[in-house]
Amino acid sequence: MPNEPINARRLRDWIFPEVVQTYTARDTMLYALALGFGADPGDRQQLRHVYEKDLLAFPTMAVTLGFDGPWTVPESGIDLTHVLHGEQSITLHRALPAAATVRSRERITDLIDKGKDAIIHSQRQLIDEAGACIATLESALYCRGNGGFGGASEPMHQMTQPVPARVPDAVVDMPTLPQTALLYRLSGDYALLHADPDFARSGGFERPIMHGLCTFGIAAHALVKGCANYDAGRLKSFQARFCAPAFPGETIRVELWRDGALVSLRAWVKERGVKVLDRGQAVLA
């Protein structure tokens, strides 16, 4: 049976509850370990993200904070079993602390009617205890079968842009561990698809897949490694489109194009030749 169109008016007017979260240095180190930091324990540039002495939070950790799990709005008509994470962006307004209490609130910014399907754009701001904005996070959710509500067919602004047509300026390979998804889920996303083999098979996968936001963070790791001499503080914004899942244990090959402060990227699974991220773009200080 086809899904019903989403209730656009109710969704636009919905006020999401504020989320307050306290995270510790241990959380910061676990997140960085899941992205591959510490693969060379003697590399001090990596060590500063996984060792409590002068610990630095990796900027993309912000996507895991102030998020209270997959949301849906009562009577909105969204079918969460048919929702895909399409795009993600993060803009850093200040350095993310290694440990802190933060708060956030989600809001809908755009609803796109593609006919059969719908796209929901949302924004989340991460605020520190003093009331200053640390980061702005934007997502695009692709809702299969929820179109037909009569909205605009194109977004007010495009989150992502195509990568350059020329040969990449650099390529960085990022090996992952067989337990990468099990590590990453400790940052708060406990979806069964990333841990339970039986559940993964019921969803059509041979085994649990990696979180899309884990691949997103690994690509950002590759970017600061390849273009910023491991100075993660230079990363001011990062965005990408999700194309396909990777499996834990595979190598993420990240292609990078440099144009001054702007870096474009896309990522592939090296072993299978499958594109997992596209239209990636970052700004470096």
Q: What are phi and psi of 121, to 5 degrees?
A: -100, 130
Encode burial over 124-142: b for 16+ CB neighbours within 10 A, e otherwise: bbbbeeeeeebbbbbbbbb
More confident residue, 256 or 160: 256
How many Å apart are CA 23 and CA 40, to the nearest integer? 25
- Which one of 121, 189, 221, 278 is the catalytic residue? 189
CATH superfamily of 8-143: Hotdog Thioesterase (3.10.129.10)
Residues 130-158: tens digit of each pLDDT? 999 999 999 999 988 889 888 788 877 77
The DSSP output letter for 26 is H
By the 8 A CB rule, do 180 and 249 touch?
yes
- Which one of 194, 211, 221, 278 is the catalytic residue? 194
Domain with CATH 3.10.129.10 in the chain: 8-143, 170-284
Q: How many helices (H) and strands (E) does the chain have?
A: 6, 10
How many Å apart are CA 140 and CA 142, to the nearest integer? 7
Nearest Cα neighbor of 115 from 154, 84, 81 is 154
Active site residue 189: yes
pTM of the model: 0.93
Residues 40-69: tens digit of each pLDDT? 999 999 999 999 999 999 999 999 999 876
Q: Cα torsion at 88, 93, 97, 102 (round to 10°)?
A: -70
73 confidence band (pLDDT: 50, 70, 90): low
Active site residue 231: no
What are the distances in angstroms from CA 225 to CA 121, 134, 172, 256, 285?
30, 23, 8, 11, 15
Mean pLDDT check: name the lowest of 65-74, 111-120, 205-214, 239-248. 65-74
Give the CA angle between residues 51, 90, 101 to the nearest 5°.
Answer: 55
Amino acid of residue 170? A
With respect to CATH, is domain 170-284 assigned 3.40.50.2300? no
Phi-psi region of 76 (alpha: psi -120 to 50; beta: other; left: phi over 0): alpha
Cite the DSSP H helix spans in the chain.
8-13, 25-34, 44-47, 180-184, 197-202, 212-227
1 confidence band (pLDDT: 50, 70, 90): very low
Structure tokens at 192: 């069964």
